[in-house]
Each structure stands twice: as structure tokens, then as C-alpha cells.
Chains A and B, each alone.
Chain A
Amino acid sequence: MSVKYASILWNRQKKRYDLAMLILMVIYLATFSAIQVVFHPNITVDSLIIRSTATLSFIMLHIILIIGPLSRIDERFLPLLYNRRHLGVTMFLVAFVHGIFSMNLFHNFGAVNPLLSVFTSNPNYASVSQYPFQTLGFFALLILFLMAATSHDFWLKNLSPKIWKTLHMLVYVAYALIVMHVVLGVLQQETSPVLVGLMVLGMLMIIGFHLWAGVLEGRREAVFSAKESFIKICRVEEIDENCAKVVIVQEENIAIFKYEGKVSAINNVCKHQNGPLGEGKMVDGCITCPWHGYQYLPENGCSPAPFTEKVTTYDVKVEDGYVFVNPNPHPEGTAVEPATI
């Protein structure tokens, strides 16, 4: 939530995150290469590079896709989400090495431009088993590139969060393209059921965690339908101090926070990347987003100066120990008197 954009703000946590990531990558590459050389001494250097980077980046993509639902299932995974863009950019770079080496080896030094060759060297677009699988890898790499290039908050702001989010949802398209790239490519030759099994396992994990997180989400958000202006939500004690209860009323996604003997309600959707503010916490008098730490004042939905983000606010009242909320939103950043308990 910076108004000026530093390239990346480094701190010890981020450094530890990156260090752990790099060490894990080195462990994988070293093990993969060592076992290759021992069990398959005839492998060429090119094939070793192509296969090790391909599999590493594919594995990294699985981790990237699983972190989202994991951190909704267990909040302790949130730090992994917080710095996920580092993982994403690094994954792109690894996949890029694979793509460049493949393009160079299979398409360079011929009569046709390598890029053109990717699309024309195999004309069997109407076939399944003979489909030109490298084109699928190419489009996946293009998506990964766009995501890596726009990962900084500068782009988030300039593309508008909505477009940015849509662009970054393409990661699921990239995943599907890579699955097909593998199925129609190397698995047409490498037919061991173990390899197919590993890929299916990865797919089941991704789908399974997303479904699991979705079910939990549905349970967490109480849905009310409103006839009157103020709707009874719950007893005051049901909301933990400095935390929120999330409700959906008339399609409004509302986070109701309790703090310092007061209750305030603001929109649950963070302006940064649509993070769930109601799963965050009050820190230093500000509602703090669990995803990347954007902050909002509970009484007016504004980020503290010098920041400029604003969310909608709602009228609240407390009567007979019950919390009531009016689901008709005030314009973003409107000050609303907190209800006192």
C-alpha cells in the first residue's frame, strides 16, 4: 500500500522466504541431476537441463496454486501467501530456461526462425496424439511472463485491481496448458504409469484443496436475507476482541469488527487484491488485511494517511447484547459512528 513504489521492500522475513525457496530448488536440481547421471549416464547436457528445469517449474507451479487454498484452510500458511509473488517470478524464470533451451535445441540452426518453427514444424493441429504440444508450452510461458512482469504493485494500481486479478487468474489457464503440454508431449513417449500417476496426484491435490477451502469459506460466511434496514447478526460475545465476523447480507460482503468496547462494520473485500479483511485483525487501531497487510481505519474504511485506499462502511448498533448491521452501504470512506457495547 505504498504511494511511492520501491522496487521491492526487503526485510528479514522476505530474505528468509527467498533463501528457503532457493535452497529447496537447489536440493531438487542437485538430486535430479545426480540421479540422472548415475542411472542414465548417457543423457546429454541439453536433455538434463531441459528436463530438470521443466519438472522443477511444474512442481513450483503446484505449490503456488496450493498456497492459496492452504492459507484459507489454516491461517498459519498465510506468510507463504504474503510473498507468493517471489515464488511466481522465480517459477517463471525456471520455466523460461526450459523454454529457451527447448527452442534453441529443437528449432534453432535451421532454415526457419525458431519462433515460427515452434508453430510450423509439426502441422498436425487436427490430431490428438500428434498435436504440436510445444505451442501449448509457449502460450503457458507467455501467460507466466505477463504475470511475472506485472507482479509488482505498480501494475496492480495502474491496471486496476480488477484487470490485474483477471490477468492473474490466467494462472489456472497456464496450468491447464502445461498439463496438456506434458500429456501430448513427453507422455506420448515416456509411458510409465508412475509418471502419469504423479501428474494426476498433483492435479487431485490442487482441485482437492480448492474444494476444501471453498467448503470452509461457505461455512464461515453466514448469509442473511434482509427485510428491514437493521438485521440481527449475532451476540456480541461471538466476535473475538480485535477480530471480525463475516456476513453476507443482500449480496454485501461485510466484516464486523469488535475492538476496545466498540463495533464497526466495513466491506470485507480488500482494495489490494480482494483479500478477506474479516479474516484479518486489528493492529495498532487499524484493520489489517491477512494477505499483504493493507490497513483500514474501522470508523471510516480509509487507509491511514498517506495511503488512499477506501472501502464502503455500514451502520451498526448493539442492543440487548446483540449486534445489528444495516446492509445498505455508505459510499467508500464514509465515517460511521462505531456502536458502543
Chain B
Amino acid sequence: MAKENFYIGYLPSAPKPLKRFLSRFVWLTIPILLVFAVSLVLYQKDYVTSTFEIGQLSTIEGMLTYEPVPMLKVPLGKNDQGKEQYQSVLLVDFGKKGAEESLRKIEATHGALEGKSLTLEGTLIYYDGKSLLEMTKSENAFVKVEGGSLASQTKIIGKVNLRGEIADPKCYFGVMKPGEGKPHRSCAARCIAGGIPPVFKVEQNGTVDYYLVKGAGGKAIYEELFSIIAERVSLEGQAYQVDDWKVIEIDDLSEIKRLSQGGLPNPPMCSF
């Protein structure tokens, strides 16, 4: 009689030879799954050593400045020429939001903060010589404010044409991995639209350099960059350096050029 091993699912048990066949099939899938797990992991890119000290609050004291972007400048002492050196700590809020709003709220109760020595509590983010403080508790990050004086050094670099990718510094320098490129694009766009200052990551001749991005005349730009965030682009503008951060002021947003990627067709540049 044919079909001796006909399977009927609502009976409590399947015929023996069928059971044997199926359990062999299940055993066979194990090595296949292992091969997939191993190769999927081993053939992805490594994750960078950037750090977000999640769950661990630190207090940072430094001179507050809003220019070019909100940051605390922690004095490191004087250099050979007797000029004050600073380590800048970019300020960002909890979530995908810039620090401006919370700082203004603190000012509403404690008076103007610009140029004063401010102590904030938050979560540190750092990588590649740059650091940020997430004001995890927003305006409640405030610890104290004292008098102080800021002696920033500004150096003009001049007109530059740079190639790289606009990243949101919060994710790039620690919160997410990967915190750049296509998979992360939407998140970077949300962060920058939320007021986190855009950073241009320039990769040229094997070295990596970072620029804060501003519009003509030092105007803050966020959503204007929406359609090119996390893409390879070239930017043209005036560059200068304030203490340990370089800045590029883009003269003309419509001059931003997309650089072709991986041979896939490029769309015409979206108008801003």
C-alpha cells in the first residue's frame, strides 16, 4: 500500500519513519544556522570605540558659550605663549534635541550664563578627541554658576572645499553604533532637525577631521541640511577655528554637491 507514512496532524503522534526524517532535518538546520550566525557577524564592519556613559552621571564645570554652538569650555591651563587652552564639551539635551532650550530655562532662574563658569550634570559622550555632555535631566542638569572669564582663541583658516559626511555628533561620538552612514541617516536627520549642531566629518588622505557646520554669517542651520545628511557631499565655505573646534560657514547652500556613491544613480539635488 502506498503512502504508509501519511501524516495526519491532529493525531497525537506521527509515523516513526516520518519522525526520524524530520528530526534529521531539524539536526541539519543547526549547522546551517551556525554558519549564517558566524558569517553574518564576521563579515560586518567593526564598531568604533566611541563611548556613551549611559546610566552614569558626571558633573562638568566650564565656561559656557553659545558660539559657535552651545558648549562648556573646560580650561586646561596655559600654553607656551601664555594663551589659555580649552577642551570643549558640546552640550546636547536628552533625546534628539539641542541644549539651547534647557539652557534658556536655566537662565530664566539663574540669570545670563554666557561666559560664566557653569557646572552641569549629565552623561558623557566621547570619541576621537571630542566630547559632549548630554543634559540627561534637561534644565535640572544645572548644578551651579559662578563668575569667570573666557579667553577663546579664534584662528582664520580661509576658504575651503571639503568632502565628507554630515553627522549628528551625539550619535556619531557615542550614542549609536553605527552612528553614521545610510542605516543611521533618519536618526541623524531627526537629531539635527531637533537642534543638535551638525558636524561635518571630513575624511581626506586617510585622516579624519571634524567641522561644526554653520550657514552664511554664522547663522545656525539645521533642517536646511535635511536632504543631504549622512551622504557623501562636498561643502564650500569659510573656515576658522575656535580653540579646539573647527567651523565651516557655508556661503551658499545650493552649492552643496552630492558625490556619487557606489555607482548607483544620483538624484538631482533637492532644492532647500
Contacts and interface: CB of A to CB of B under 8 A. Distances in A.
A112 B262 CA distance: 31
Interface string A299-341: 0000000000000000000000000000000000000000000
Contacts of A290: 6-7
B11 A109 contact: no
A44 B96 CA distance: 18
Interface stretch (A121-129, A142-150, A229-237): A121-129
A46 interface: yes
Interface residues of B, number: 68
Interface string A59-85: 100010000000000011111101100
A292 B11 CA distance: 11
Interface residues of A, number: 76
Contact of B41 (A35, A75, A121, A185): A35
B33 A46 contact: no
Given A129-B262, A198-B39, A293-B8, 10 more contacts: A11-B11, A24-B30, A47-B178, A55-B37, A105-B176, A130-B185, A189-B178, A241-B2, A281-B3, A283-B6
B163 interface: no
Nearest to B193: A111
B9 A44 contact: no
B208 interface: no
Contacts of A90: none
A110 B193 contact: yes
A130 B36 CA distance: 27
30 contacts: A11-B10, A13-B9, A14-B9, A27-B34, A32-B37, A35-B42, A36-B41, A44-B52, A55-B37, A55-B40, A76-B18, A79-B14, A80-B25, A106-B186, A107-B190, A109-B94, A110-B95, A111-B96, A121-B189, A121-B190, A122-B186, A123-B227, A128-B267, A133-B182, A186-B182, A189-B178, A240-B1, A242-B3, A280-B6, A281-B6
A107 to B, nearest CB: 6
B270 interface: yes
A243 B40 CA distance: 46
Contacts of A31: 33-34, 37-38
A117 to B, nearest CB: 6
B181 interface: yes
Contacts of B47: 40, 42-44, 47
Contacts of A47: 47, 176-178
B50 to A, nearest CB: 8
A112 B223 CA distance: 13
Interface in A171-201: 184-186, 188-192, 194-195, 198
Contacts of A20: 26
Contacts, number: 204
B4 to A, nearest CB: 9
Contacts of A128: 264-265, 267
A132 interface: yes
Contacts of A126: 267-268
B218 interface: no
Nearest to A132: B186
B153 interface: no
A288 interface: yes
Nearest to B50: A42
Given A44-B177, A117-B186, A198-B40, A28 B33 contact: yes
Interface string B163-192: 000000000000011100111111101110
A192 B50 CA distance: 23
Nearest to B231: A130
A131 B127 CA distance: 29
B191 A293 contact: no
B195 to A, nearest CB: 9
Nearest to A106: B187
Contacts of B111: none
A108 B6 CA distance: 52
Contact of A185 (B22, B182, B194, B262): B182
A28 B190 contact: no
Interface in A26-57: 27-28, 31-32, 35-36, 39-40, 42-44, 46-47, 51, 55
A288 B44 contact: no
Of residues B26, B36, B186, which shows the largest number of chain A Cβ atoms within 10 Å of its Cβ?
B186
B16 interface: no
Nearest to A82: B9
Contacts of A11: 10-12
B34 to A, nearest CB: 6
B43 A195 contact: yes
Contacts of A122: 185-186, 189
B189 to A, nearest CB: 5
Of residues A105, A190, A194, which shows the largest number of chain B Cβ atoms within 10 Å of its Cβ?
A190
B176 A107 contact: no
A318 B25 CA distance: 42
B187 A107 contact: yes
B58 interface: no
Contacts of A240: 1-3
Contact of B46 (A32, A42, A130, A194): A42
A283 B34 contact: no
